[in-house]
Chain A
Amino acid sequence: MDFVTDMMPPDTTGEILAIGWETALLTLQIALLGTAIGGLFAVMLGLLAANNLTPEWVHHPLKVLLAIMRSIPVLILALVLVRAVGLGPFPGVLAIAIHSVGNLGKLFADECETAFEGVWEAMDSAGANWWQKVRFAVWPQVAPQIVSLTLYRLEMNIRESAVLGLVGCGGIGFYITLYQRSFNYTCMCTMVLVMLVIVLAVDQLSVQIRKRLT
């Protein structure tokens, strides 16, 4: 149980808490931006990858592309991107965005494929074009699910983003490893606790939002 006693009590000096707060905020921002960008592209690609909305030659290659995007773990994507675009939060945002597109895009496409076909035909019958059919026959049916899935992805991305500090993307993960390597376990404990509070807060927020959607 040495590792527990080593971490006790967590260092609560103002300076350490300020570092924890600032870096946790950066971690949160990386996750938010990555999820927002990823979600936006996922909506577009997800609609095009739904087999009831587009012809085979559009949705089939897109499904493959999405599968490739989500098959690479965020951490490995970030490792590669840090080499490509340099250290800092930017490769982290990119890595999270890319993985989220692959993941959410597939879920959105699945969602569209279960949308009620009859409404599509009713809109077509009224003379709606493809965009109008997507907007009125598909979107109202899938939008609540899309918001809910994106929020869920955000929760996961915040945890992913915390780990990204390990490979040079900054944020709270960087300080957790820093303190761990310098045997400063009480400070490390503070960072872990700050992270815990943030993750729990966002989880609760997202639960509340998703509750209202249904």
Chain B
Amino acid sequence: MAERNAPVILVEHLRVNYGRRVALCIDQLRFDRGECVGIIGPSGAGKTTLLRAIKGYVRPTRGKIEVLGLNWSMCDRSARRRVQRRIGLIFQQFHLVPRMTVLQNVLCGRLGSTHRLKSLFGRFSAEDKQIAWRAICEVGLQEQVHQRADTLSGGQQQRVAIARVVAQQPEVILADEPVSNLDPVLGAEVLTLLVEVTKHHDATLILNLHQPALAKRFVNRVVGLRDGRIVFDDLPSRLTDDQLQEVYLGYEPTPLYRDDSTAGRSMAMVGA
């Protein structure tokens, strides 16, 4: 394992193209252990692409991405899978298995570490169950443990998803718009929980967020993306209105009011 002060994630001279469109162009970006980073930016700025590139789901057109000491473009498949297992993902739409219970869903976080064949028959070790139970306690869903996931509210579902990631015991947690489907109060609760869980497990958290105000409240570093480039990277307290303007200029006020003609154009360019 890499020494303590080595970066958890190191991105250098990265370029990701979708067809002829440049989705990401980052000269250098580094995340250290224990950081809680919020990535802000308008829709289509490359936030999701960046997270997926870090997870190793998006292949860079050029450049290097090193996660937990492993360079994605210079490793074999099994090394890649081993490291990917140490990176947890949280999604906007939770992506739970609707017909399974909370416990079964959280146990899915153990799939990478448990006995593969036994898991196919729904059998998990006592250790797996203990880890899952502790994760469920951490997100406060002890009472719903045998309830089916599709009977839970949105906030509870996202808690299950967080418990599933906790059960995975990741060193990096990537959350892609984790609270965009929740109302502001629930959203704040879920973010508080995510930050707590990250600290408790000594992990690194990278959050994609639409709302800069939320980002400022919960993270200790903000990265602003615009058209695939970093236009801000500093403490949240240094994020002034002028800088927000720079990140969101031309996209404001919110993505809800986005001009459909530009959306159509960018889609066409992706297809090209």
The range of chain A's interface size is: 10 to 19
Measured in the bound complex, the distance between the Cα atoms of B120 and A129 in whole Å is 10
Among candidates B84, B93, B97, residue contacting A137 with C-beta atoms closer than 8 Å: B97
Q: Check A123/B91 contact, CB under 8 A, given A136-B97, A140-B99, A141-B99.
A: no
Nearest to A133 among chain B residues (CB) is B111
Q: Which of A118-148 contact B (CB under 8 A)?
A: 118-119, 121-123, 125-129, 131-132, 135-137, 140-141, 144
Pairwise interchain contact B120-A119, C-beta atoms closer than 8 A: no
CA of A140 to CA of B91 in the docked complex: distance in angstroms?
Answer: 20
Candidate in A116, A122, A125 with the most chain B CB atoms within 10 angstroms: A125
Residues of chain A contacted by B95 (CB below 8 angstroms) = 116, 118-119, 121-122
Chain A residues, Cβ within 8 Å of B247: none
Q: Does B108 contact A (CB under 8 A)?
A: yes
Tell me how many residues of B have a C-beta within 8 Å of chain A: 29
Taking a contact as CB atoms under 8 Å apart, the answer to whether A119 and B96 are in contact is yes
Q: A118-B91, A121-B89 are known contacts. Are A126 and B108 too (CB-CB below 8 A)?
A: yes
**Most chain A beta-carbon neighbours within 10 Å: one of B96, B100, B112, B113:** B112
Q: Do B96 and A127 have beta carbons less than 8 Å apart?
A: no
When the two chains form their complex, are residues A125 and B55 in contact, meaning their CB atoms are under 8 A apart?
yes
B15 at the interface (CB under 8 A from A): no
CB-contacts of B176-226 with A (<8 A)? none
A125 touches which of B84, B98, B99, B119 (Cβ 8 Å): B84
| A/B interface sample: 28 pairs, CB < 8 A | A119-B96, A121-B89, A121-B91, A121-B95, A122-B96, A122-B108, A122-B164, A123-B108, A123-B111, A125-B84, A125-B87, A125-B168, A126-B108, A126-B109, A126-B165, A126-B168, A127-B85, A127-B113, A127-B168, A128-B108, A128-B111, A131-B116, A132-B111, A136-B108, A140-B97, A140-B99, A140-B100, A141-B99
Chain B interfacial positions (CB closer than 8 Å to A): 55, 57, 81, 84-85, 87-89, 91, 93, 95-100, 108-113, 116, 119-120, 161, 164-165, 168
Give me 8 other A-B pairs in contact (C-beta within 8 A), A121-B91, A132-B119, A144-B99 excluded.
A116-B95, A118-B95, A119-B97, A122-B95, A126-B168, A127-B84, A135-B119, A136-B97
